[in-house]
Amino acid sequence: MSDVVELPAQQRERAGKGPARAARRAGQVPGVIYGAKKDPIMIAVENKQLNKLLHSGGFFSTLFDLKVGAKAERVLPRDVQFDPVTDQPVHVDFLRVSAATSVNVEVAVNFLNEDDCPGLKEGGVLNVVRYEIELSCRADAIPQQIDIDLTGLQVGDGIHISMVKLPDGVEPTITDRDFTIATIAAPTVATETEEAAEGEAAAEGEGEAAEGEAKPEGESSED
């Protein structure tokens, strides 16, 4: 389970574009807490702190205790809107959760024991198809990451979701197929070099054949 992170917030008295712009001018990002059949709460969080959390990874799979005044709200981030020009966050949505709340979250994949992977030792390449996996679980059981062991995998082997041991109560949201997470691909550089060498050899062969067929100028055939 991911650690719960405390995040201070200020309550906004009013919604609307005007108060939201005022919050941004003050170095804050406006947001809202909603869900659990309670009234939404308009809030604002510090821009610098939110940016730090966004760039640290795993933001949308992290539980937060939002400290609004003397009260704390256990929440899960659901959406962040960004300015199309500056790419700065301009609004953030948080969902109230409890231990019993079921949620779908994207959890990062972490690959282990690359040094014990024969395929990679032989020059193979780890081709990652999914850097994150969408999982369904209780809010208090969100994994911090999904570890995948590469020990013993050969070139050409694939890693499918059925090969991954998930914690109890945690399931992938995709259930209709055994989807691929990563593969150990053949070394592309070696393949390209071999193909180039084969192409050069073929070109040389064609050139020699053409030279043999051509007759020097002025030479006639003898019957």
Domains annotated on the chain, with CATH: 5-97 (2.40.240.10), 103-188 (2.170.120.20)
What is the predicted pLDDT for the residue at 21?
86
pLDDT of residue 222: 46
Nearest to residue 105, comparing CAs of 143, 160, 158? 143
- CA–CA distance, 6 with 102 (Å, rounded to integer): 21
pLDDT value of residue 201? 55
Tokens in use for 102?
């079921």
Q: Are the C-beta atoms of residues 82 and 89 closer than 8 Å to each other?
A: yes
The pLDDT of residue 205: 56
According to the model, what pLDDT value does residue 19 have? 79
| Per-block mean pLDDT, blocks of 10 residues, the chain (223 long) | 85 80 92 93 95 92 92 94 95 93 95 96 95 95 94 96 93 96 84 54 55 51 44
Look-up of token digits 């574009």: 17
pLDDT of residue 2: 64
Beta strand segments in 83-117, E: 89-96, 102-112
Closest to 183 (Cα-Cα) out of 205, 143, 211, 154:
154
